[in-house]
Amino acid sequence: MKNIRVFLVDDHYVVCEGIRRMLEQEEDLSVVEEAQSGEEALAKLQNTTADVVLLDVKMGGIDGIETLRQMKLSYPDLKVIMLTSYGDEYLSPSIEAGATGYLLKRANRAQMVEAIHEAVDGGAPLDPLVTPSLLYRLRNPSGHEGAKLSSRETQVLELVAAGLSNKEIASQLTVMQSTVKNHMTSILQKLDANDRTHAVTIALRKDWISNPIPIDHKAPRII
């Protein structure tokens, strides 16, 4: 039975420890190296023979996406499965950067083991919870990643990021509350976001809005 060598990269030691213990229960899997940052992973990879890398998407320093890009530049055939707690938010940039697969950290042992085997066998393991989103984007290429917010929608979302309610935003912009609701509906559709918080997170990642600054709700309205 072939032994599959796995390299774990996550900035949370407890996560690495938990995954390692799960994988050690499999006769044909072994964890040959671990790293807690992108920089450490890139350095250790030079002296590590791994078949599959399980790479955390969000880390301090060099994040997972940039770490993936650099890994694929030096080791184009390396199998890299991205791990995330953020749903499908980083799915597209992960695929664009060369990820072999995409898995949520909530995955159980059977799902993680299956994903590793699928990657080694030439497949592209994808967490079933993000599959519907991927299919939607393929069927609607003009949506989500390509959709741009209008200047007013951007203004509304920045106020949402600053902690204002629809009523407070309406007051700030001197518009009807129903108008703000319509803008929010459009924003959620364009970004394929689940809710207001998700929309803010996506827009911040794309640099479509600036980092939120708490607003004095009693300040003069914006004209």
What would the pLDDT profile of 132-167 be if each residue is shown by its tens digit?
766 666 666 555 444 678 888 889 999 999 889 999
The answer on pLDDT for 23 being more than 50 is yes
> Where along the chain do the CATH 3.40.50.2300 domains lie?
4-138
- Residue 187 is predicted with a pLDDT of 87
- Residue 221 is predicted with a pLDDT of 45
CA–CA gap between residue 52 and residue 197 (Å, rounded): 33
How far is CA 209 from each of CA 145, 148, 159, 192, 201, rounded to the nearest angstrom? 15, 12, 10, 16, 10
CA–CA gap between residue 66 and residue 156 (Å, rounded): 30
Residue 223: pLDDT band (50, 70, 90) is very low
> Where along the chain do the CATH 1.10.10.10 domains lie?
141-223
The answer on pLDDT for 222 being more than 70 is no
Residue 129: pLDDT band (50, 70, 90) is confident
The answer on pLDDT for 73 being more than 80 is yes
**Architecture of the domain spanning 4-138:** 3-Layer(aba) Sandwich (3.40)
The answer on pLDDT for 88 being more than 80 is no
Q: To the nearest whole number, what is the mean pLDDT of the chain?
A: 85
**Architecture of the domain spanning 141-223:** Orthogonal Bundle (1.10)
Q: How far is CA 22 from the centre of its chain?
A: 23
| Residue listed under structure tokens 């938010």 | 89
CA–CA gap between residue 85 and residue 56 (Å, rounded): 9
CA–CA gap between residue 56 and residue 102 (Å, rounded): 10
- Of 86, 85, 95, the C-alpha closest to 65 is 95
Q: Which of 15-19, 38-42, 174-178, 185-189 has the highest mean pLDDT?
A: 38-42
Buried b (16+ CB within 10 A) or exposed e, 173-200: beeeeeebeebbebbeebbbbeebebbb
Q: Do the beta carbons of residue 98 and residue 210 sit within 8 Å?
A: no
Residues in the chain: 223
User: Three-state DSSP class for 106?
Assistant: coil
